[in-house]
């Protein structure tokens, strides 16, 4: 197949970079729309696969990607993606007057293609293939980030952050991941504005999906439950991690449960003990269905709720004390997970839930009560220490000691505040 590249002029006056792979004779055309942060050159594998199938391939670099013009990871309106795709489609149709054209979109490109099929009355498209479209993220975006984004998109819309894509989650093929990490045309930026525009478009696509009238193949990975590794039963995620650690840079046999059936797969474990998948955290109801938890509903009268509440509070406080001990042990690395206001905000769900709200309210109240009892000057626990001293000695501590102790206590508290919120900011930016 012959590789050609060209920059075509868009309706906005900037350039769109287009690659094409064409055999001498072909009777089909595919237009490829890539995902966030990547570019058309990564789809050369299509050329290798389709070279004997009489298929011509055109692949564009989206604005702000690859060799096309535009600011990386930013766009003013999502509709501009559709305009650029339409400009490329017109260019391709001029070169292929009668040949059927198929759209192929992956990730963000999948969302763009779906939106194009819904909102543009184009008779030029014969069919579409949509690969893992961005209509839902596999990664859970922290709720505090969503809240910050909703505020800052109106203040600094073009400000860009990392898109938080983990290279090792792209594929289990380490060679491809390595090439991706070294690719100078790949970027990891996304602006508040682009993220907001994508979310708006996701809602519109879900709402208007029935408008798609052409033949469309949509495919996505399924939710598999790993049952065993090399015939060793796996029940919990930590067991999976420990098992994979034993088989670094080796091939293992996985037994998985998929759609009610059981299937065996041979997969390669990389040098970090990973197999290239995104773990999903099941809900309590799902855990119950899996037989891990046995959920029961208990109803209490007003007076019965008092001892039950005391027991629950005691259990929660004990759990929090245990977690605090881990934070104080550097060897555990638990201090790295310490968070501030952002982490607290992220605890709350995106939609209102009375049970979650009161559980979190109770948890935060207990947490503050526990923190306040710590023997740190400036807290009630510190005052208790000085009162005990006064009771034991018969006179209050010297005023200078009290003064310096208060200063030390405030320094400790402010340092914790800066460190916790600094962790939030670091997770936001990186």
Please tell me the predicted confidence (pLDDT) of residue 88: 95
Asked whether 284 and 293 are in contact (CB, 8 A), the reply is: yes
Alpha-carbon separation of residue 294 from 9, 297, 311 (angstroms): 62, 10, 20
Question: What is the helix, strand, coil percentage profile of the chain, to 5?
Answer: 45, 15, 35
Q: CB of 198 within 8 A of CB of 153?
A: no
Give the burial class of 47: count Cβ atoms within 10 A of its Cβ; 0-12 exposed, 13-18 middle, 19 or more buried: buried
* DSSP summary character for residue 280: -
Q: Report the predicted TM-score, pTM, of the whole model to 2 decimal places.
A: 0.61
Give the count of alpha carbons within 13 A of 353, CB side only: 9
Q: Tokens 């306040």 map to which residue?
A: 372
Beta strands 225-229 and 232-233 are: antiparallel
Annotate 106-130 with DSSP letters as a single string: ETHHHHHHHHHHHH---SSEEEEEE
Tell me the CATH architecture of domain 2-219.
3-Layer(aba) Sandwich (3.40)
pLDDT tens digits, 86-122: 999 999 999 888 899 999 999 999 999 999 999 987 7
First-residue to last-residue Cα distance in the chain: 41
CB-facing half-sphere around the CA of 204: CA atoms within 13 A: 16
Domain locations along the chain: 2-219, 225-282, 302-429
Nearest to 324 by CA among 380, 373, 379, 382: 373
Under 8 Å between Cβ of 29 and 56: yes
Please choose, from the candidates 89, 102, 88, 104, the residue with its C-alpha nearest in 3D space to the C-alpha of residue 35. 104
Within 246-336, residue ranges assigned H as helices are 284-289, 302-327
* Helical packing angle, 399-429 and 143-152, nearest 10°: 80
Below-50 pLDDT ranges, the chain? none
Q: Using CA atoms, how far apart are residues 425 and 143, in angstroms rounded to an integer?
A: 14
């Amino acid at each position: 197949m012959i590789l050609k590249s060209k920059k075509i002029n868009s309706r906005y006056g900037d350039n769109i970079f287009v690659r094409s792979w064409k055999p001498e004779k072909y009777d089909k055309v595919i237009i490829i729309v890539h995902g966030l942060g990547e570019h058309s050159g990564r789809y050369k594998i299509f050329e290798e696969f389709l070279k004997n199938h009489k298929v011509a391939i055109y692949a564009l670099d989206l604005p702000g990607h690859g060799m096309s013009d535009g600011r990386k990871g930013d766009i003013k309106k999502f509709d501009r993606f559709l305009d650029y795709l339409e400009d490329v489609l017109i260019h391709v149709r001029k070169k292929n007057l009668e040949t059927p054209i198929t759209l192929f979109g992956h990730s963000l490109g999948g969302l763009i293609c779906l939106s194009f099929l819904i909102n543009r009355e184009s008779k030029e498209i014969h069919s579409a293939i949509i690969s893992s479209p961005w209509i839902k993220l596999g990664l859970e975006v922290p709720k505090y980030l969503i809240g910050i984004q909703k505020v800052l998109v109106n203040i600094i819309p073009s400000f860009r952050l990392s898109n938080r894509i983990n290279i090792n989650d792209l594929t289990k093929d380490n060679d491809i991941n390595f090439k991706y990490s070294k690719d100078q045309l790949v970027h990891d930026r996304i602006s508040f504005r682009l993220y907001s525009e994508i979310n708006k478009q996701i809602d519109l696509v879900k709402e208007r999906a029935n408008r798609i009238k052409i033949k469309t193949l949509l495919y996505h990975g399924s939710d598999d439950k790993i049952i065993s590794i090399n015939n060793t039963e796996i029940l919990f995620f930590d067991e999976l991690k420990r098992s994979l650690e034993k088989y670094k840079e080796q091939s293992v046999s996985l037994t998985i449960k998929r759609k009610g059936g059981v299937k065996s797969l041979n997969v390669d474990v990389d040098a970090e003990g990973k197999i290239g998948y995104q773990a999903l955290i099941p809900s309590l109801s799902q855990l119950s269905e899996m037989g891990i938890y046995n959920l029961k509903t208990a109803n209490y009268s007003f007076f019965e709720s008092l001892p039950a509440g005391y027991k629950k509070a005691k259990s929660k406080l004990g759990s929090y004390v245990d977690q605090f001990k881990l934070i104080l042990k550097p060897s555990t690395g638990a201090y790295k997970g310490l968070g501030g206001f952002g982490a607290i905000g992220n605890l709350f769900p995106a939609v209102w839930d009375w049970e979650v709200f009161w559980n979190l309210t109770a948890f935060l109240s207990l947490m503050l009560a526990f923190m306040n009892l710590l023997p740190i000057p400036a807290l009630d626990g510190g005052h208790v220490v000085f009162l005990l001293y006064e009771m034991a000695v018969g006179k209050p501590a010297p005023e200078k000691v009290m003064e310096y102790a208060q200063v030390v206590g405030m320094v400790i508290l402010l340092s914790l505040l800066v460190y916790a919120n600094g962790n939030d900011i670091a997770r936001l930016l990186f």
